[in-house]
Chain A
Amino acid sequence: MSMLQVSIYRYNPETDSAPYMQEYQVDTQGRDLMVLNVLEMLKAQDTTLAYRRSCREGVCGSDGMNMNGKNGLACITSLSQVVKDNKLTLRPLPGLPVVRDLAVDMGLFYKQYERIQPYLQNDEPAPAIERLQSPEERDKLDGLYECILCACCSTSCPSFWWNPERFVGPAGLLQSYRFLADSRDTATQERLAELEDPFSVFRCRGIMNCVAVCPKGLNPTRAIGKIREMLLANAT
């Protein structure tokens, strides 16, 4: 019975002067567990291990982390998808400050989300019932509204690593386009005006790491392309 070798990034700001990798061994009894299950088994042994988790079914976006080099959600990533040579290396999402172990400070990520005004804006008085929207108009929001803010995309994006203060990042831009594409939103011009500088949108270099890692199968690069098209159509 070979034990799974798990190597985990550890850092406690109160006691550690520098982060280090800690080695663990886990007996999975040959089961194809989710990475989160493995973390829970380890947490029962070593209660000092810190990470976030909530829904354990891939919809809350808490447990984004870097597993054998690739960002994803621990709760819906099975060992068979990531483990190589019986070894699993877990690190916090890259590019954000580490709070402790696998938990990162998501402040910058949320700040960029807030910057795009992620809420419907409509200055016309609301009707007594719902605002009507055709199924075709509604279809345009598919692939956009499902974002769970796990930050897997933005923290795998080199442009976001270099300019997290100024580049909105794939997650924020996906949501930006979610409102630009909504037939009920009337703030298109204001939204576009906020995005035409050289950083907010245009730092996207089409690397497409975001698309490769999105645990919900969303495509921020396509949304960014759509925003660029709208900016172009608007300005020419």
Chain B
Amino acid sequence: MSTMRSLTFDAIIIGGGGSGLRAALELAKSGKKTAVLSKVFPTRSHTVSAQGGITCAIASADPNDDWRWHMYDTVKGGDYITDQDAAEYMCSEGPKAVFELEHMGLPFSRFDNGRIYQRPFGGQSKNFGEGGQAARTCAAADRTGHALLHTLYQNNLKNNTTFLNEWFAVDLVKNANGDVVGCIAMCIETGEVVHVKSKATVMATGGAGRIYASTTNALINTGDGIGMALRAGFPMQDMEMWQFHPTGIYGAGVLVTEGCRGEGGYLVNKDGERFMERYAPNAKDLAGRDVVARSMVMEILEGRGCGEHGDHVYLKLDHLGEEVLNKRLPGISELSKIFAHADPTEAPIPVVPTCHYMMGGIPTNVHGQAIMQDADGNDQIVNGLFACGEAACVSVHGANRLGGNSLLDLVVFGRAAGIFIEGALNEGIDYLDASESDIESAMKRINRWDESSGGESVADLKAELQGIMQNAFGVFRQEDNMQEGVKQLADLRGRIANAHLVDKSGAFNTARVEALELDNLMEVAEATAIAALERKESRGAHSRYDYPDRDDVNWLKHSMYFPAEKKVGKRDVNFKPKTVDTFEPKVRTY
């Protein structure tokens, strides 16, 4: 124990994706001693896969665009459990954050007047839903995430950010008062385990789509931050809310951007019918993602699916012409040819709703400070712990995220967390040091794996977990299935606790990383399952056969999952934006 090396920082940011890099940039500029700790080289983070764009009212496509319209869409899109103070902050601060990105060099596509190109995306409207479809998603062709992530990494290089690349954060270290004072981390290249001491620990660890068998997410999206926070005893918010993206390539799960439909593409069933006209007569293919995904599943269940097994639908793009496809959607054409063997200039792309985004996560305020609840159910700040990006639940996405809002979330709240932490560090932060036993309890998990001498294999258990989640917690859910799923997960937890890490070597041991990731997947899956079972209504992405309606009397609330008791509580949704009138819940149609 005493031989373990320790590293000390003012702030440690776990995760090198969009939100982590944006927070790091803010802190690097401030001169604070900060480091980004990432299990992959930062440009390999999943932000790189974002395609369509970053939604923001910069008034380029429409000079009269208003961030309040964007806020309305976001609140409605989230089926009214979006925190309105957070949505207000994101939508009003958004333009500043987007212009900053442009000034940093992000190669946005352009209109003829030289301004940033914006395309229509799902759920976008003008004039609070009264003015028709808006075009509000700022794009760099269909590689916006790639352009954004590289730009942020480049600007971190410019500002001399310290990087701990290919380091894996294992668990949080809490002191005797329950404050988060750092983490245990492992250098993947050497296998060395160190104690990272920090006054602020930022969870920018992204999503956990890999709890499902079919997902658009990268293989690295294993919910490491969520797992760490749950094991440290902190609650999670809205974990039942998982977005299924309408257009994952059938079979491969690879994402095809909503921008395809923004540029004029549409979905057809086996009869060639543009079926979204029936489900969403106004917005059609640009309705909320949850609405489109459900409609697709309905078509498939009712026997109008395409292909030999009738288990997918087609995304038609050929009518857009080669020029639009090459200019606006070059990456999609490439992916479609590789993974669907379909050239979109000639053939439609087979698509199916695919797990895409975790709306839930670590509950935070707009400054990125993690929140828990005291005994009376009041919000309480967790000292030393911050979260931003997909790992956080601010909550701007509520029960369903709008396309293009995730990239905005990353930069707005990454920046906000950075600014807040800088201020807090200036004022002075002084927490009790972690004791030897505090550190030891954070080491328990990695020690367990390193001491394992028998048991099931990580790969098999992971596949089983993904199967359970896919079957019982997909687009449509129902009580008995979920009950069974929760039971299977409980059994699985016991087996994972006894699973075997065969390879215990130090250097670049990816088997150890995958074992540690499996624990995190387990935590996320269980939180998702128990929260989903508890929410007895249908709202946004959470859709139940047995409770098909939204229940504003009982469930106009965030769910809060408490890991120690494995119980679900509720937390009030914020309906008090500072500068605009509250958007009251209405029936949500597109």
A interface with B by C-beta (< 8 Å): 12-15, 43-44, 47-48, 50-62, 76, 78, 99-101, 103, 105-106, 110, 114, 117-120, 122, 126, 128-135, 137-138, 141-142, 145-146, 148-149, 179, 182, 184-185
CB-contacts of B107-144 with A (<8 A): 107-116, 140-141, 143
One of A12, A135, A149, A179 near B43 (C-beta < 8 A) = A149
**Chain A residues near B45 (CB-CB < 8 A):** 54, 60
B99 and A128 form a contact (CB under 8 A): yes
Task: Say whether, besides A47-B511, A55-B49, A57-B254, A12 and B40 are in contact (CB < 8 Å).
Answer: no
> Which of B296-304, B377-385, B500-508 participates in binding chain A?
B500-508
Residue of A13, A62, A131 touching B102 (CB-CB under 8 A): A131
Chain B residue at smallest Cβ distance from A78? B338
CB pair A52–B102 under 8 Å, yes or no, is: no
Q: Please, which residues of chain B bring their CB within 8 A of the CB of A55?
A: 44, 46, 48-49, 218-219
Chain B residues near A52 (CB, 8 Å)? 40, 44
How many A-B residue contacts, CB cutoff 8 Å?
A: 153
A76 to B341, CA, bound (A): 12
Knowing A57-B254, A119-B155, A145-B150, the reply to whether A129 touches B507 (Cβ < 8 A) is no
Q: Which residues of A contact B310 (CB under 8 A)?
A: none
A44-B459, A62-B44, A130-B58 known; A99+B103 contact, CB < 8 A: no
Docked-complex contact A47 and B48, CB < 8 angstroms: no
Q: Does A119 lie within 8 Å of B505, measured CB to CB?
A: no
Q: On chain B, which size bracket covers the interface? A: 35 or more
Measured in the bound complex, the distance between the Cα atoms of B166 and A51 in whole Å is 13
Query: Are A126 and B510 closer than 8 Å at their CB atoms?
Result: no
Residues from chain A with a CB closer than 8 A to the CB of B255 are 57
State the 8 A-B residue pairs at the shortest beta-carbon distance, nearest first. Answer: A120-B105, A132-B114, A100-B508, A47-B511, A130-B102, A119-B154, A44-B459, A60-B44
List residues of chain B with CB within 8 A of the CB of A58: 334-335, 338
Select B507's contact among A13, A76, A132, A148, beta carbons within 8 Å: A13
With a CB–CB cut-off of 8 A, which chain A residues contact B568?
A: none
Query: Would B507 and A12 count as touching, CB distance under 8 A?
Result: yes
Q: Does B22 contact A (CB under 8 A)?
A: no
Say whether B555 faces chain A, with CB atoms less than 8 Å apart.
Answer: no
Given contacts A57-B255, A129-B115, A185-B105, list 19 more A-B pairs with CB under 8 A. A43-B459, A47-B458, A50-B508, A52-B40, A57-B49, A59-B48, A59-B49, A60-B46, A62-B44, A76-B338, A117-B158, A118-B157, A120-B105, A129-B99, A130-B108, A131-B103, A138-B107, A148-B48, A179-B105
Q: Is the CB of A54 within 8 A of B218?
A: yes
Name the B residues within 8 Å of A14 (CB-CB).
Answer: 505-507
Interface of chain B residues 445 through 467 with chain A (CB within 8 A): 457-460
Q: Is B108 in contact with A60, judged by CB distance below 8 angstroms? A: no
The docked-state distance in angstroms from the alpha carbon of A142 to that of B146 is: 13
Q: What is the distance, in angstroms, from A124's C-beta to the closest C-beta of chain B?
A: 10
Q: Give 10 pairs: A residue, B residue, CB < 8 Å, sorted on A.
A: A14-B506, A44-B460, A59-B49, A60-B46, A60-B49, A106-B41, A119-B158, A126-B103, A132-B113, A182-B107
The listed residue (B104, B109, B511) touching A138 by CB distance below 8 A is B109
Q: Is the CB of B510 within 8 A of A118?
A: no
Chain B, residue nearest A147 (CB)? B150
B545 on the A face (CB < 8 A): no
What DSSP secondary structure best describes chain A's contact surface?
A: loop
How near does chain A come to B62, taking the closest CB pair, in angstroms? 14
Query: Please, which residues of chain B bring their CB within 8 A of the CB of A128?
Result: 99
Q: Which residues of A contact B146 (CB under 8 A)?
A: 59, 146, 148
A47→B103 contact, CB < 8 A: no
Query: Are A56 and B189 touching (Cβ within 8 A)?
Result: no
How far does the alpha carbon of A185 sit from the alpha carbon of B103 in the complex, in Å? 10
Q: Mark B78-110, 1 if CB is under 8 A from A, else 0.
A: 000000000000000000001100111101111
CB-defined contacts of B220 to chain A, threshold 8 Å = 54
* Pair B338/A61 contact, Cβ less than 8 Å: no
Q: A55-B218, A61-B43, A145-B147 are in contact. Are A12 and B105 (CB under 8 A)?
A: no
Residues of A within 8 A of B111 (CB): 135
Quick check: A57 and B105 within 8 Å, CB to CB? no
Cβ 8 A contact of A119, one of B46, B112, B157, B514:
B157
Please tell me if the beta carbons of B154 and A61 are within 8 angstroms of each other in the complex.
Answer: no
CA distance in complex: A87, B477 (Å): 45
B509 within 8 A of A: yes
> How long is the Cα–Cα vector from A135 to B323 in the complex, in angstroms?
15
List B contacts of A141 (CB < 8 A). Answer: 107
Smallest CB separation, A100 vs chain B (Å): 4
Inter-subunit contact B112/A100 (CB<8 Å): no
Within 8 A of A (CB), among B165-218: 189, 218
**Are B114 and A44 in contact, CB atoms less than 8 angstroms apart?**
no
Q: Nearest-CB distance from B286 to chain A (Å)? A: 24
Most buried by B among A50, A78, A99: A50
Complexed CA–CA distance, A210 and B459 (Å): 36
Task: Say how far A30's CB is from chain B's closest CB, in angstroms.
Answer: 16
Residue pair A57, B112 in contact (C-beta under 8 Å)? no
Q: A12 touching B107 by the CB < 8 A rule?
A: no
B141 CB contacts on chain A under 8 angstroms: 142
